[in-house]
Amino acid sequence: MLEVNNISVNYGAAPALWDVSLQVQPGELVCVVGPNGAGKTTLINAIAGMHRVRAGSLRFNGRDITALASHRFCEAGIAIVPEGRRLFTQMTVLDNLELGSFIASAKVHRKASLAHVLSLFPVLKVKLDSPAGSLSGGQQQMVAIGRALMARPGLLLLDEPSLGLAPLIVMDMFRIIRQINAQGTSVLLVEQNVAMAMELAKRAYVMEEGRIVAQGEASELLTRPEIQKAYLGLEMHE
Amino acid sequence: MSFPSFNLLAQSILSGIFIGGLYGLIGLGLGLTWGLLRQINLAHFGLVFLAAYMSYHMATVWHVDPLLTLLILPPLFFLFGVGMQWVLSRFSISPFNSLLVTFGITVVMESVIQAIWTADFRRLETHYNDQKFTIGSLYIPVPELVTLVVAVSLSLLIWAAMRYTDLGKALRAMAEDGPIAAAFGINQKGMSLMLAGICAALAAVAGICLALTFTLTPSQIFAWVGVVFAAVMLGGLGSALGPLVAGIIIGVSEAITMAVAAPSWAPIVSFSLLIVMLLFRPGKL
Amino acid sequence: MNKTVIGILAAGALLASVPWLGVPAFYESFLYLLCHWMILALSWNILSGYSGYFSFGHGAFFGIGMYTSAGLAANLNWPFLWTLPAAALLAALLGMALGAVVFRVKSVRGELFALLTLAITFVVGTIVLNTRIDGGPGIYLNSVAIPAIGPTASSSIYLMALLGAVATLLISYRIQASRLGMGLFAIHDDEDVAEVMGVPTFRYKLLAFGISCALAGLAGGIHALFVSYVTAGETFTIVVPLTVVLMSVLGGTRHWAGPAVGAVAITCLMYFFTAGNNPIAGKAAVGVILVLVILFMPNGILGYFLKRTAGKRSVPPALAAQAAAAPEAAPAPAASGKVLLDVQNLSKAFKGVQALDGVSLQVHEGEILGLLGPNGSGKSTFINVVSGHFPATGGQMFFEGRQLAGLEAHSIAQAGIARTYQIPRPFAHLTVLQNVALVAMFGGAALNHEQATQEAWKWLEFTGLQDKADALPDDLNLHQRKFLELTRALASRPRLVLLDEVLSGLTPGEINEAIALIRKIRDRGATIVFVEHVMRAVMALADRVAVLNYGKLIAVGPAQEVMQNSEVVSAYLGTPHA
């Protein structure tokens, strides 16, 4: 479904990603982990069209989307839950959700999508008219996910959804993400919290310093020395 | 300072409300581009005056009813606004430099106006001028009333559009976080062009109202700058109702000052308010 | 007395001879106008062009000067020449009083400062009009005795203005070459960083504003005599500020002579147009020129031509001096164990977020301490608070025994603490060399201009950037920009260096270079605290590490030990839920 082929992305003048390739098959839940500064956010932003790709290509559902204008990525079927939520804080929760379905193809189904989102996050029902900035961190994350779902995407991108959230809320969040994936949406998840990410995903990629350094089944990656080294700087001598 | 009669005071307050409405109407477009596009568009004033002179011309020379010009000029100015924005967006200009560039454009417009219509005072004389209502002992002149009605309705209309329509929300989202808005399908370039066009159309409406209520002379363009800026800043950038409310407050304060003290003290009101706002509530902007 | 000063004085002397050449009075008037606008534009530029605080209120101080002179001369019968210093002084005092209030408000910059100063113009004008200062009818100066400096009245006025213009040119030139000028240019590019690098921003802005207003007042005083009839309506308008902005921007705001060039250009243009058949076309042309200049020559005429002819490269100090190779440093202490930085219970809260929560940490002299923690744990905030970029909301910080909390950032810099920014924030309009020299001038070492430049060269060689000395930061790649940050931090010869993610974004080879450099820096006698994510660098460099999580310090000690601490491991990798 999603093919990232050897992309290189610059952050300003500096290279942030080198020669990165990954795939997401339809219906999969794939994880990208790595320490801070590894380039995970740059990668997700590039896939969402928020960042120019300097070399390589992006293909989605067989279509080359590398050169598309930023605002066309949503139509193509990709929606993002960005790092730090980035809600439209001055607007109400309902406005934020409705804006998620701004594109024509999603607008038609707005009512149904809204009902679906509220069934996933019932606590938002009473918050619909509150300004988005007034919600707690966990609730804001729900709105951010809801906003992306309103776009009825084929692929949902999540950038560090657990950031700044209490562990219990994170568990809840991940349960819902699993549910979303089960309902048919492919998911690409970037996380710093390795342990939890590995529980969620079947397949994972490990990034360090702008490159992919390991990939494979989640369960066996956790024991690999690359992760110990990337995160803790420890060379594990077996 | 002599305290005026109740009647005089009431009439002053009324005229303050009327002129405040005009301040708000002129400020509406200015505030929208400043708040949503981060451009300080001094050329807005040039557009207002251009529209004022054009409606004067159409009414006086071509005998078109001024209210009919309301149907002709705004669409024309919409196109002009889009065009101007399109040209300016080819250059990346900082908000401050947009102030300077648009000042230059305004100077050019002033010159064009002066070249066509000379620096003589021009007054749009219509049958509306002499019409007034009376409520008790208060006079309500029709042109001023029309201006106020237009100001209030347009402000409400824009406010409602920004609040309730998809496009309005998209604009607000774009102003807050452009890249994320784009990630959800909002086309920044197109939106900016549309907004610029709408604000130019609003300038046209304001110009027509100006022509109905005031005598025109090209040098007057800059006299309005200070007061309208004050209204926009006090009312809040990007707000639809703010400039109107602030404009009326300023207008009324000015009117009361004029009635109670000497007329020449009037400018101090708006500018002092502006200074106070800037120093003590800059967060509001 | 260098060549430029002599040149200015010579030109001035030459022009001063005009009244005795027997030319028609018209030429004197024209030259008067040139001098008049030169004073106004140059003085405006001292604050607004150099520091970026564009003031639209120059007309207010010009008007204050005008009314002071007019009032004193016509109403109080002062000898005219004495009214001029009074005009300048009053304008300066009022300007500095305004500045004392406004410059303290952090958010009034850019457009807001412009609008505020515009509002001041109208307020002052209204006050003048309505009180006894003017009262309405204006002030006539026909009966004021014109000082007999030249053969005729008009030539005397011209000579006064000429003197003013020469003085203003010299002042403008001297400031640009001085510490004040460098500080103002730094403020222009990034005021917050300038403050952290040691520039006393408030004091400098106030000083520049005072000088600017004084000269405007002077110009106003002279002009009162020229027009001989002063009214509020003509004086306190938008005309003076806008013309002055136009002249300076056209000529080039970064050069001491730019506004003078612009003043001459515009005055001549206006003359041709008003004297010609089409004054209206003239006005339109001025507008068009302004638009074109902003769009295509944002650096002004002088800026544009100077860039074309640039090529003069900075000369490195003579090889003999270079033989001393490494910059003088404090003798390298062994990790002496003495506490250099003592942080007690430090807290910092932003709106609702507790970024630092009761952090207590001691940094020992001569050590390299790694500051680690997952995203959002408060590491950058720690650096920001210690360097004075943000004020703490609780707790104390002692550096070499001195209390740091409450000090302004530039004082902290001068005490010997330097920092780098995670995303490099160089002064965009200054060259690499100037960026580094600036810190040498304002940091703990407080050198003069020449010494600072030499010092800068030595540090550029130390970090390997000497070939890029004349480049602008925009021309550097990320690696070089990060090294520039580093060089800047070192140029003030700090005792404590705070590095914020210096290595992120670098290639493995560049990282190795950086690691070696950081070691060299410690060997020269600095103590280093660095925030980093590149773990192998941490392992290679750090004597000790401290780990933050959610704003709290959770572990501190030797690296290998700390990284195996279970709390640290779970902070990074997360805990699986059972």
- Tell me the Cα Rg of chain B: 19
pLDDT at C333: 47
Are B114 and B220 contacting, i.e. CB atoms less than 8 angstroms apart? no
Question: Helix B95-117 crosses helix C239-251 at what angle (to 10 degrees)?
Answer: 120
CATH code 3.40.50.300 for A1-77+153-238: yes
Q: How far apart are CA B25 and CA B241, in angstroms?
A: 10
Q: A219 pLDDT exceeds 70?
A: yes
Q: What is the DSSP letter of A60?
A: E
Sign, CA torsion B6/B10/B16/B20: positive
pLDDT at C479: 79
Q: How far is C122 from chain B (nearest CA, A)?
A: 7
Question: Helix A137-150 crosses helix A167-182 at what angle (to 10 degrees)?
Answer: 10
Tell how strand B138-141 and strand C552-557 pair up. Answer: unpaired
Q: How far apart are CA C528 and CA C526, in angstroms?
A: 6
**Shortest CB distance from B172 goes to which of A48, A72, A90?**
A90
Q: Which residues of B touch C240 (CB under 8 A)?
A: none
Are C39 and C161 contacting, i.e. CB atoms less than 8 angstroms apart? yes
Q: B275 pLDDT exceeds 70?
A: yes
Q: How far is A96 from chain C (nearest CA, A)?
A: 22
Between chains, do B183 and A102 touch, taking CB under 8 Å as contact?
A: no
C474: its two tokens? 């925009």
Q: How far is A31 from chain C (nearest CA, A)?
A: 14
Least confident of B1-15, C113-127, C216-230, C388-402: B1-15
Are C495 and C526 contacting, i.e. CB atoms less than 8 angstroms apart? yes
**Shortest CB distance from B173 goes to which of A73, A80, A99?**
A99
Q: Quote the mean pLDDT of chain C.
A: 84
pLDDT at A12: 59
Residues in chain C: 578
- As a whole number, mean pLDDT of residues B227-238 equals 83
Are A46 and A20 contacting, i.e. CB atoms less than 8 angstroms apart? no
**Shortest CB distance from B184 goes to which of A69, A89, A102?**
A102
Q: How far is C488 from chain A (nearest CA, A)?
A: 20
- As a whole number, mean pLDDT of residues C334-349 equals 80
* Window A:17-76, CB contacts with C under 8 Å: 35-37
User: Does the CB of A8 have a partner CB in chain C at under 8 Å?
Assistant: no
Non-local (6+) Cβ contacts of C444 within 8 A are C198, C413, C414, C415, C416, C418, C492, C493, C494, C495
User: Does the CB of B170 have a partner CB in chain A at under 8 Å?
Assistant: yes
Q: How far apart are CA B75 and CA B86, in angstroms?
A: 17
Minimum CA–CA partner of B167 in chain A: A102
- As a whole number, mean pLDDT of residues C198-214 equals 93
- Select the more confidently predicted residue: C194 or B121: C194
CB atoms within 10 A of CB A124: 20
Q: Which residues of C touch A198 (CB under 8 A)?
A: 576
Sign, CA torsion A223/A227/A233/A238: positive
pLDDT at C13: 87
Q: Which CATH architecture has domain C339-573?
A: 3-Layer(aba) Sandwich (3.40)
- Select the more confidently predicted residue: C563 or C437: C437
**Shortest CB distance from A102 goes to which of B166, B176, B177?**
B166
Q: Which residues of C touch B221 (CB under 8 A)?
A: none
- pLDDT above 90 covers what percent of chain C? 20
Q: How far apart are CA A152 and CA A174, in angstroms?
A: 19
Between chains, do B188 and A71 touch, taking CB under 8 Å as contact?
A: yes
Residues in chain B: 285
Q: How far is A173 from chain B (nearest CA, A)?
A: 21
Non-local (6+) Cβ contacts of C59 within 8 A are C121, C235, C236, C237, C238, C239, C240, C241
Vertex C139, ends B266 and C162: CA angle to 5°? 110
Q: What is the pLDDT of residues B66-123, one digit of tens each?
A: 778 888 899 999 999 999 999 888 887 777 778 778 888 888 888 888 888 887 777 7
CA B109 to chain centre: 17
Q: How far apart are CA B110 and CA B51, in angstroms?
A: 12
Query: How much of chain A is helix, strand and coil, in % rounded to 5?
Result: 40, 25, 35
Query: How much of chain C is helix, strand and coil, in % rounded to 5?
Result: 60, 10, 30
C282: its two tokens? 């003239």
Q: How far apart are CA C273 and CA C489, in angstroms?
A: 53
Chain A interface, Cβ < 8 Å to B = 48-50, 69-75, 79-80, 82, 86, 88-91, 95, 98-100, 102-103, 107, 147, 151
Between chains, do B179 and A71 touch, taking CB under 8 Å as contact?
A: no
Q: B41 pLDDT exceeds 80?
A: yes
User: Does the CB of B179 have a partner CB in chain A at under 8 Å?
Assistant: yes
- As a whole number, mean pLDDT of residues C2-22 equals 85
| DSSP calls for B141-162 | EHHHHHHHHHHHHHHHHHHHHH
pLDDT at C86: 92
Q: What is the pLDDT of residues A39-75, one digit of tens each?
A: 888 889 889 888 888 888 888 888 888 888 889 999 8
Sign, CA torsion B42/B45/B48/B49: negative
Q: How far apart are CA B126 and CA B219, in angstroms?
A: 23
How would you write C164-182 as a 3-class SS string? HHHHHHHHHHHHHHCHHHH
- Total-model pTM: 0.79
pLDDT at C331: 45
Place of tokens 């440093």: C329
Chain B interface, Cβ < 8 Å to C = 40, 91, 93, 95-97, 99-101, 103-108, 110-112, 114-115, 222, 225-226, 229-230, 233, 262, 264-268, 271-272, 274-275, 278-279, 282-283, 285
C36: its two tokens? 């008049």
**Residue spans per domain, chain A:** 1-77+153-238, 88-152
- Give the C-alpha distances (Å, rounded to integers) separating A162 from A39, A82, C61: 17, 11, 56
CA C73 to chain centre: 38
How confident is residue C329, by pLDDT bands cut at 50, 70 and 90? Answer: very low
How would you write C186-243 as a 3-class SS string? HHHHHHHHHHHCCCCHHHHHHHHHHHHHHHHHHHHHHHHHHHCEECHHHHCCCHHHHH
Q: How far apart are CA B105 and CA C553, in angstroms?
A: 58
**Residue spans per domain, chain B:** 24-223+235-244
Vertex C512, ends C507 and C516: CA angle to 5°? 145
How confident is residue B263, by pLDDT bands cut at 50, 70 and 90? Answer: confident
Smallest CA-to-CA distance from A221 within A201, A235, A238 is with A201
B60: its two tokens? 């006086």
Between chains, do C479 and A167 touch, taking CB under 8 Å as contact?
A: no
Residues in chain A: 238
Vertex C49, ends C412 and C260: CA angle to 5°? 140
Q: C319 pLDDT exceeds 50?
A: no
Q: C413 pLDDT exceeds 50?
A: yes
* Window C:354-393, CB contacts with A under 8 Å: 374-376
pLDDT at C336: 61
Torsion of CA B143, B147, B152, B155, to 10 degrees: 160
Vertex C49, ends C44 and C53: CA angle to 5°? 90
Three-class SS of residue A48? coil
pLDDT at C240: 83
Between chains, do B97 and C294 touch, taking CB under 8 Å as contact?
A: yes
Q: Residue B96: phi, psi to the nearest 5?
A: -70, -45
- As a whole number, mean pLDDT of residues C272-288 equals 73
Q: How far is C266 from chain B (nearest CA, A)?
A: 14
**Shortest CB distance from A37 goes to which of C501, C536, C538?**
C501
Q: A238 pLDDT exceeds 60?
A: no
One-letter identity of residue A128: L
Three-class SS of residue C347? strand
A14: its two tokens? 């500096």
- As a whole number, mean pLDDT of residues C82-104 equals 91
Question: Helix B43-60 crosses helix B6-37 at what angle (to 10 degrees)?
Answer: 120
- As a whole number, mean pLDDT of residues C482-509 equals 85
Q: How far apart are CA C344 and CA C411, in angstroms?
A: 20
Q: How far apart are CA B247 and CA C549, in angstroms?
A: 50
Q: What is the pLDDT of residues C219-272, one digit of tens each?
A: 999 998 888 888 887 788 777 887 888 888 888 888 899 999 999 988 888 777
